[in-house]
Every structure is written in C-alpha cells, then in structure tokens.
Amino acid sequence: MYVPPAFKDDEVESIRATICSAGLANLVTATADGPIATPLPLFLDETEGEHGVLYGHLAKANPQWRSAPTGEALAIFMGPEAYVTPSWYATKQQTGKVVPTWNYIAVHAYGPVEFFHEPERLLEVVTRLTNIHEKSRAKPWAVSDAPTDFIASQLRGIIGVRIPVTRFEGKRKMSQNRPEADRIGVATGLAACEKPQDREVASLIPIPA
C-alpha cells in the first residue's frame, strides 16, 4: 500500500482499533494460478506473537485454502471512508486549483497463513468470533444455544484460518495534506451529509478545537 508520510498510521492502538471495528476483512493470497481474495470476518488475538494473530474461517468449498500460497497472506481492513468534493475547499475560491479526492482509513496485515480443520480449534474460533459480534446485543446469541450435533455438522463445512502477523501497514488519509481552511471546509461539508459514515469521517479530520 502506498502511504505518503502525512498519512502514515503506525500507532499500535489505532491499528488495532481499525481491525476491531472493521468487522469484514479481505483475505488475499498469491498462488501459482494468480491472486485469490475472500471477504471474511477476522479477529485479532493480541496475546499471541509479537504483533498478534488473526483468526477466521472459510467455507470448505472455497478453493482458496486448497491453493498453496506464495509468500505471505494479506488481510485488508477498511475503516470509515468518504468522497471529498473540491467545492468544500477554501482554495477553490482562491485559486481554483483543486480536484476531488477520497478520505479513508485502511490497515494491511501481513503474515504466513495456516488453514486448519480440527473440530475443537474450529469451535473455539467460531465461538470467539460470535461472542465478539454478539456481546453488544441486549440478548446475545451464543454458539451453545444451537444443538451440539447441528454445530458439529456446520463445523464440517468450514476451514479455519490462522495468520501470525509479521507486520502492519496503516494509512489514515484525512485531509492532513490540505491547508487548515480546507480541512475545516471538508469537516463542515461532511458533517452536513446524510450518510452516517460521512459524518464519522468529518469527526476524524484534524482541525483546531
């Protein structure tokens, strides 16, 4: 990922927060037949390894796990993003030398990928993943709520994914390269938009208090 210095995000807590809030990631592996990508939920276990370990699962029918990867796998996590119109820039009125852009947050996680099928390991992964996404609900659903034989049959249809992270790349593109007046204009414009994600991006743009 191309990361200009102004947009580099190498803060561990910021990177972890993006991963935790992303929900869905894209798992990319290079193979002899070309790249393969699968959208899937992943969670980061921060207690394992130097940078943590990513866990998730694929459908057993998905050919990605059968194709031997070349080099490391790449997991892509996206944070809030929004289109930025040049109309919000103060520079538009001053010189007219402006163009559209996009503000966004992204994290790339790299590491060797392991695919596994042991039932006890799969059960642990799906249980932890479910608990992560159910914990905020008034009445969380648990894997143990379903019949044991039904869960066992479902586990036979998936393959586990384990990625010990070797490095992260973080990018936080929030108009940091624009003059203060332009950043204020972008934040004000996005804050007035109907999309909740646009308003979230507005709150992330660095402007004076």
- In this prediction the pTM is 0.93
The position carrying tokens 């992260």 is: 168
Residues 124-128: contacts with CB within 8 Å, 24+ apart? 125/55, 125/56, 125/57, 125/160, 126/57, 126/155, 126/158, 128/43, 128/55
Cβ proximity of 79 and 104 under 8 Å: yes
Q: Report the pLDDT value the prediction gives residue 39, as an integer from 0 to 100.
A: 98
What is the average pLDDT across 12-18? 96
Cα separation, 68 vs 205, whole angstroms = 42
Q: Report the pLDDT value the prediction gives residue 166, as an integer from 0 to 100.
A: 97
For 112-122, how does the pLDDT look when each residue is reduced to its tens digit (9 = 90+)?
999 999 999 99
Confidence of residue 25 (pLDDT cuts 50, 70, 90): very high
Cα separation, 65 vs 75, whole angstroms = 14
CB atoms inside a 10 Å sphere around CB 111: 21
Helix (H, G, I), strand (E, B) or coil at 65: helix
164 vs 208, more confident: 164
Closest by Cα among 36, 86, 89 to 63: 36
Closest by Cα among 186, 173, 172 to 84: 186
